[in-house]
Amino acid sequence: MKIKTKLNAGVGLLFFMIIVLSTLGGWFIYQLKKDTQNILTDNYNTLQYSRNMLLSLEEIGKEPFAMAEFQKNLDLQRQNITEDGEKEATKNILAHFSDLKKDKENLSLQAAIRKDIAELMQLNMNAIQIKSGIANTTAQNAIAVISIAGTLCFLIAFILMVNLPANISNPIRELTSSIHQIAKQNYRERVQFESNSEFGELAKSFNTMAEKLQEYSESRIDKILKGKKRIETLIDNMHDAVIGIDENRKVLFVNDEALKISGLKRENFVGKLIQDVAVSNDLVRDLIKEIINPDAEKNPAELLKIFVEGKENYFEKEILDINVIPTGENDSRFIGQVIMLRNITPFKELDLAKTHFIGTVSHEFKTPISSIQMGLQLLENEKIGSLNEEQQKLIKGIDEDALRLLKITSELLNIAQLETGVSQLNIRQFKIGEIIEEVIKTNRSAADKRQISIITDIDSDLEIINADQEKTLWVLNNLVSNAVRYSNGQSDVIIKVEKIGLENVKFSVKDQGLGIEEKYLKDIFTRYFRVPGTKTEGTGLGLSISKEFIEAQGGSISVESEVGNGSIFSFILKMK
């Protein structure tokens, strides 16, 4: 039944019961009134007339109006005959009164009338008693009927009071609890109500909604699971090793490549704290160095050389932090890290092939360039034959180009040797003066051309040094050549050699050239770096090779420079 119908029926029933009770009450009051009215009109009046007649009878003979008064009350009584026997009693009074009219002093007639009146009164008094009994019964019946009807009404009202609110509130309570369950993502929750009430319709709509939510959530979970599987398959099939850890450094996933290169089994890796795994595995220990100690200096170019299945493999390490912004929040939260080992072996192999190629080509170039230089020297020799001015100019140009070619091939060869690890140190004692002389000789013609004087300032008690002569000469030569190339004309280049402390020697080359902007100083020793806008030809390799040559000997190289005021490049080596 519909709630509205239930409410209407309940209120209607109460309304009906009020009407029934009021009607019953009214009817009984009316009955009681009728009973008392009967007594009043039927009997009370007769008693009143009888009393008057008795009083008039006493006055007959003394009062002239007594007869008329008696006649008047008798007439009224004759019109008010209501009880059985009353008619006969009245008739007797009338008969005796007619006789009395003729003989007013007749005492026996008076006594007879008194007796008749007494009988009449007795009759009416009896009637009053009977009618009072009837009224009593009516009152008792009224009390009984109204009590029963009242009790019935109370029971019905009580049942309505107990049932009707519960009928409305129970489904609401059940619905509220189901809504709470749905809010907790328990989409299997359903409500069951009486199907034909309004709550039945509500329950139906609610259940449909819950079913749809369940369907949606299941399809979403299915989608998420499929997506997860896809990503896992992707990660597993990558040639790069991938390890995922959570914010507590517990390993969440490891792909096949990571297992292969670490030599670990999945069950000994996943679910364990990575630092615990690192205790028994050198590779993992190396990988998590930065994670365990984030303040340690990072070396981005660091490559890991790992033997996998009997072959050398090169990996580049990268650690990514995973930060997410949780739904409804503004700040991102750290939830873990992914350690990636990018397999760069194919690139490394190509790079090595390139280096070998450059090494071979530059080596092969050295002999023909030397022959060209020798041929040029012979051509310049006047004993062989004199050259005209134009030919001399051409020879000079070829000589300069040959020199530049030699510089480039020497740099490329050095780079190739450094990259392949072929370059070896040859430490022995040599005279500092020898390399200074050689450097001046090599750079003289270029310096002269630009009217640059190469000045030396060598500590007098410095003669011998224990170092790699060839490499030290190469570095000093590169610094002086740069100083000449990047200087304006008519200036000085000073080569200074001084003792630093008891053990070290400092070589510095000072020029009065262009200088270098401060922001480029940190990159100046990087391979292929050239200060933007540099017009002089070059490869950007000289300083980086110099740095490696000096550091290989345990020394250090540095630069001081000011734009417009020139630069000082210096390196320090151990004397012994």
Task: State the minimum distance, in angstroms, from the CB of residue 241 to ligand ADP.
Answer: 36
User: Using alpha carbons only, what angle is made at residue 565 by residues 560 and 568, rounded to the nearest 5 degrees?
Assistant: 30
Nearer to ligand ADP (CB atom), residue 240 or residue 560: 560
x-or-dash string of contact with ligand ADP, 42-81, rule CB under 6 A = ----------------------------------------
x-or-dash string of contact with ligand ADP, 453-492, rule CB under 6 A = -------------------------x---xx--x------
CB 362 within 8 A of CB 351: no
Task: State the minimum distance, in angstroms, from the CB of residue 268 to ligand ADP.
Answer: 49
Task: State the minimum distance, in angstroms, from the CB of residue 498 to ligand ADP.
Answer: 19
CA distance 547 to 533: 23
| Bridge partners, residue 499, by sequence | 505
User: DSSP code of 273?
Assistant: B
Options 128, 243, 543, 557; binder of ligand ADP; rule CB under 6 A: 543
CA distance 408 to 538: 8
Nearer to ligand ADP (CB atom), residue 435 or residue 545: 545
500-536 in b/e form (b: 16+ CB < 10 A) is eeeeebbbbbbbbbbbbeeeeeeebbeeeebbeeeee
Kindly list the distances between the CA atom of residue 55 and the CA atoms of 49, 88, 345, in Å, as whole numbers in the listed order: 10, 22, 152
Q: At what angle do helices 66-78 and 86-102 cross, to 10 degrees?
A: 160
Handedness of CA 151, 152, 158, 162 (dihedral sign): positive
Task: State the minimum distance, in angstroms, from the CB of residue 478 to ligand ADP.
Answer: 6
CB 478 within 8 A of CB 435: no
| Span from 80-88, 362-370, 398-406, 524-532 in contact with ligand ADP (CB under 6 A) | 524-532
Nearer to ligand ADP (CB atom), residue 212 or residue 444: 444
Nearer to ligand ADP (CB atom), residue 251 or residue 514: 514
| Span from 42-50, 250-258, 499-507, 536-544 in contact with ligand ADP (CB under 6 A) | 536-544
| Span from 211-219, 351-359, 377-385, 537-545 in contact with ligand ADP (CB under 6 A) | 537-545
Parallel, antiparallel, or unpaired: how do β-strands 491-500 and 452-458 relate? Answer: parallel
Options 242, 243, 412, 541; binder of ligand ADP; rule CB under 6 A: 541
Kindly list the distances between the CA atom of residue 450 and the CA atoms of 290, 292, 447, 489, in Å, as whole numbers in the listed order: 52, 57, 5, 5
Does residue 272 bind ligand ADP (CB under 6 A)?
no
Options 199, 538, 555, 557; binder of ligand ADP; rule CB under 6 A: 538
Parallel, antiparallel, or unpaired: how do β-strands 333-343 and 241-246 relate? Answer: antiparallel
x-or-dash string of contact with ligand ADP, 544-573, rule CB under 6 A = x----------------------x------
CB 543 within 8 A of CB 525: yes
- Where are any strands of DSSP class E within 177-292? 241-246, 251-254
Task: State the minimum distance, in angstroms, from the CB of residue 313 to ligand ADP.
Answer: 32
Give the count of beta carbons closer than 10 Å to the beta carbon of residue 543. Answer: 23
Task: State the minimum distance, in angstroms, from the CB of residue 333 to ligand ADP.
Answer: 46
Options 2, 289, 366, 530; binder of ligand ADP; rule CB under 6 A: 530
| Span from 5-13, 36-44, 166-174, 510-518 in contact with ligand ADP (CB under 6 A) | 510-518
Options 45, 534, 556, 558; binder of ligand ADP; rule CB under 6 A: 534
Total number of residues binding ligand ADP (CB under 6 A)?
Answer: 20
Q: At what angle do helices 389-420 and 542-552 cross, to 10 degrees?
A: 50
x-or-dash string of contact with ligand ADP, 118-157, rule CB under 6 A = ----------------------------------------
The tokens for 422 are: 């072929």
Does residue 540 bind ligand ADP (CB under 6 A)?
yes
Which strands sit side by side in the sheet containing 333-343, from one edge to the other? 251-254, 241-246, 333-343, 311-324, 303-308
Options 116, 513, 550, 555; binder of ligand ADP; rule CB under 6 A: 513
The tokens for 310 are: 């009997």
x-or-dash string of contact with ligand ADP, 91-120, rule CB under 6 A = ------------------------------
CA distance 178 to 207: 10
Nearer to ligand ADP (CB atom), residue 178 or residue 410: 410
Task: State the minimum distance, in angstroms, from the CB of residue 477 to ligand ADP.
Answer: 11
CB 337 within 8 A of CB 251: no
| Bridge partners, residue 250, by sequence | 273
Nearer to ligand ADP (CB atom), residue 77 or residue 544: 544
CB 515 within 8 A of CB 480: no
Does residue 516 bind ligand ADP (CB under 6 A)?
yes
Task: State the minimum distance, in angstroms, from the CB of residue 476 to ligand ADP.
Answer: 13
Q: Closest-CB residue for ligand ADP?
A: 538
CA distance 275 to 402: 59
**Residue at 177: amino acid letter:** S
Task: State the minimum distance, in angstroms, from the CB of residue 561 to ligand ADP.
Answer: 7
**Residue at 564: amino acid letter:** G
Does residue 524 bind ligand ADP (CB under 6 A)?
yes
Q: Which residues contact 563 (CB under 8 A, 6 or more apart)?
A: 514, 515, 516, 517
CB 505 within 8 A of CB 573: yes
Task: State the minimum distance, in angstroms, from the CB of residue 500 to ligand ADP.
Answer: 22
Options 83, 86, 419, 511; binder of ligand ADP; rule CB under 6 A: 511
- Where are any strands of DSSP class E within 400-490? 427-431, 452-458, 464-468
Task: State the minimum distance, in angstroms, from the CB of residue 471 to ligand ADP.
Answer: 15
Does residue 410 bind ligand ADP (CB under 6 A)?
no
Rg (CA), the chain: 67
Task: State the minimum distance, in angstroms, from the CB of residue 323 to ligand ADP.
Answer: 39
Nearer to ligand ADP (CB atom), residue 56 or residue 477: 477
Does residue 171 bind ligand ADP (CB under 6 A)?
no
Which residues of this chain interact with ligand ADP, rule CB under 6 A? Answer: 478, 482-483, 486, 511, 513-514, 516, 524, 530-531, 534, 538-544, 567
